[in-house]
Amino acid sequence: MPNPRLSEKRWKISKEKEIAEKWQAENLYAKPTIKGKLFVIDTPPPYASGRWHMGGAIHYSQIDMIARYWRMAHGNTWFPLGIDRNGLPIEGRVEKDYKLKAHDTPRGKFLELCKTTLDKYENNIRDVMTLMGLSVDWSEPYRTDSPDYRTLTQSTFIELWKKGLIYEATKPNNWCPGCQTTLADAEVEHKTVHSHLVYLKFQLKEGGTIMIATSRPELLAACQAIIVHPDDEKYKEYQGKTAIIPIFNREILITPRQEAKTDFGTGAMMVCSYGDVNDVNLFRDMKLTETIVIDKAGKMNKLAGKYQGQFNLKARKNIIEDLKSEGFVEKIEEIEHDIPICWRSKDALELISLPEFYLKQMEFTEKIRELSDEIIFHPSWMKRPLIDWIDAVSQDWPISRRRFYGTPVPIFYCPDHGAWVPETGKYYESWDLVLPCPECGKDSKGDKRVLDTWMDSSVSALKVSQYDKDKEFFDKAFPVFLRPQAKDIIRTWLFYSLLRVYQITGEKAFEHVWISGHVTDTHGKKMSKSIGNVLYPETFVEKYGADAVRFQGAAETKLGADIRVNEERIRGAKKFVQKLYNVARFISMFEKPLTEDDSLLKSSDKWILSELSKVIKKSIEGYEEMDMFIPATEIRNFVWDTFAPHYIELVKTRAYDGDQGAIITLNLVLKALLKLLAPIIPFMTDAVYRELYGESVHTQKIPIVEIEEEHPTERLKAFNEKVWGAKKEKGISLKEKIELDVPLELKLYESDLIAMHHLKK
């Protein structure tokens, strides 16, 4: 029996590192030369604020599978990488790690601490990406906090300012007391809390009382009106009367309004500044004067009287007690209701009016909807959340933040000529910079605020397509081929990218959008350090190999659904990797065929090549749809259920005898399988292909469908199962002879079946 050219009996996980080093040494994934259309991937820049867990590892490995397939199938594919380093997450991490507060720390020192911490976590991200075999181009990584990237952000800001699309205004906005900054609606999350609905008696100036139910009695001092529904019969006589606010003894008007909810509380509602967005709209429509009683720290201010200095929850508790003692409380009900919270700190938000910069988006929502129709979504139903968000947009985007680690707002203020913007193409550390006014030359101080981090992230498509660097490249790379991302940032990263890129270029940002589900623990819960279910990739890669981890992620579920990390299935994926290696090792016993002359093929060979063609066809359809589940499961089933147990056993005798038809077919199938699986399990496939065929599998073309014939596959398999079953029943080994006739419909394969099963008539 000849010796296999693959000398190792088992695939060694340790070889993955060796293969990764070869890829880097060969510069295998460099930016392609500009020949025809460029397929650029707007890779999500991972946020460097903590150790990377399995969620990031599996999510990005699936994006890598798209990149690897597209490179093999279509060429000219570039998979660049960025690191997101601006915004609240890193500030929160630094405040926690160093036990300090950003607003109580010298700004320069705080920024340096942020940068140092980011560098540490960025190295971890790069290490994990290398460990997982990502084919990114490491030669040109971008960082959203670099002067180069911030120049792009500021330049696009300046362009939009000059177009009149950015303005400053004082409006009620979401305010996070913990983070001490304004938030956009897209950054708001909600959670259900236990609370109380307090039924209060308001005295009427004309005599009598009116009952109001509220969950926020601490806002009594900010109450400016009571509304009742115009059709609510029980309040007809109250319309136009004057109510007196308990404790604060201020008079307010009872007004009929359609916005009053007859099915909530008593049907009569306080209008305060600001309990929720409904209050904001009512204040605007009713032309009421706001009374802000909660400050930026979440404490009651002097307008709250005796409750000044108390945090709003404490003030709520105290004012309820006072209302009770003065006889204003009719009853209190326990309720559950949703409250808005900060996406980062999870603190309850308040609505506070502050001057902020806004980017116009309301007038662009219909255009973004039209652009979405020009983009192919994978899966198609993930377009719906984007449309739902477009429909929900109700105000312009507040883009300035009262934080520190972000791109500075590039606005300067002349004492005589007011706000002005500098020229594009340079980075301005505005908060610590004075420039001469272009009109009069007087010193103009820069704005102290920074931009929302999504203002940076939303121009990543322009960055990777070299909008500000290389016009020839940009013309061939834009619109960007692919935006891959998770479903939870559709309303932020995807929407803002479409908005900003259109405002700058007048075109859609992407040709394709790929949306994945979340990576969860084995119980379907999103991984979180707070609940202790975070899993780290290093552990699984060391134990099972990156190929196995990648394959489990691909084969777990269809695109768009959540992917559960399941160690048992990763172990099963490792067995599949080993199975394919065993198949390759068997085939490596035979010298490479001198020809691929199909006249040498027998019926059994044509049968397996026809089955292979079906797998190739279905796998390519899955890859083109960017759904890795399809090729992963098609190829696995083919190897486990057809190629290894049936065809290889069918032609072993011929192969050992040196039959060229069998050896040609074995190599054709193996080469095709290695190429088809290379995007999903890149390490083992490349090692085997190099050893047997002398080149990297990742430089090959995806195989094409060649033989499509009808063969009695199921009857062939059934006959094999019948023979194996008969031998088992007789208690004889598979190598012993047995009397059994080959069915007439399988006569084309008779000689191979006789040799395989040692049949005698």
Q: Tell which residue, 368, 334, 339, has the closest CA to residue 351.
A: 339
Please give the pLDDT value at position 1: 67
Taking residue 123's Cβ as centre, other Cβ atoms within 10 Å add up to 11
Contact 127, 58 (CB under 8 A): no
Q: Cα separation of 178 and 279, whole Å?
A: 23
> What does R_g of the chain's alpha carbons equal in angstroms?
33
Domains belonging to the chain, first-starting first, are 31-164+360-409+449-516 (3.40.50.620), 185-342 (3.90.740.10), 712-761 (no CATH)
Q: Cα separation of 281 and 501, whole Å?
A: 30
Q: Cα separation of 150 and 115, whole Å?
A: 15
Contact 212, 330 (CB under 8 A): no
Grouping H, G, I as helix, E, B as strand and the rest as coil, residue 468 is coil
Please give the pLDDT value at position 595: 76
Q: Which pairs from 722-726 meet CB under 8 Å and 24+ separation? A: 723/757, 723/759
Q: Cα separation of 25 and 426, whole Å?
A: 35
Q: How far is CA 27 from CA 41, 166, 313, in A?
A: 18, 43, 59
Please give the pLDDT value at position 528: 77
Please state whether the predicted TM-score (pTM) of the whole model is above 0.75: yes
Contact 180, 88 (CB under 8 A): no
Please give the pLDDT value at position 681: 98
Q: Which two tokens stand for residue 666?
A: 């074995």
Dihedral of alpha carbons 291, 292, 294, 295, sign: negative
Please give the pLDDT value at position 181: 86
Q: Cα separation of 269 and 286, whole Å?
A: 14
Phi, psi torsion values for 678, nearest 5 degrees: -55, -40
Residue 309: DSSP 8-state = T
Please give the pLDDT value at position 231: 93
The answer for residues whose C-beta is within 8 angstroms of residue 34's C-beta and 6 or more apart is 472, 473, 476
Grouping H, G, I as helix, E, B as strand and the rest as coil, residue 515 is strand
Helix axes 15-25, 107-131, angle to 10 degrees: 110
State the 10-residue block means of pLDDT for the chain, 761 residues long: 88 96 94 87 89 92 97 95 89 90 91 92 92 93 94 97 96 86 86 92 95 95 95 94 96 95 92 88 90 91 95 94 96 90 84 92 97 97 96 93 94 96 96 95 96 96 94 95 95 96 97 95 83 90 97 94 93 97 96 82 94 96 97 97 96 93 95 98 98 96 84 92 90 88 91 90 72
Please give the pLDDT value at position 594: 75
Grouping H, G, I as helix, E, B as strand and the rest as coil, residue 275 is coil
Residue 440: DSSP 8-state = T
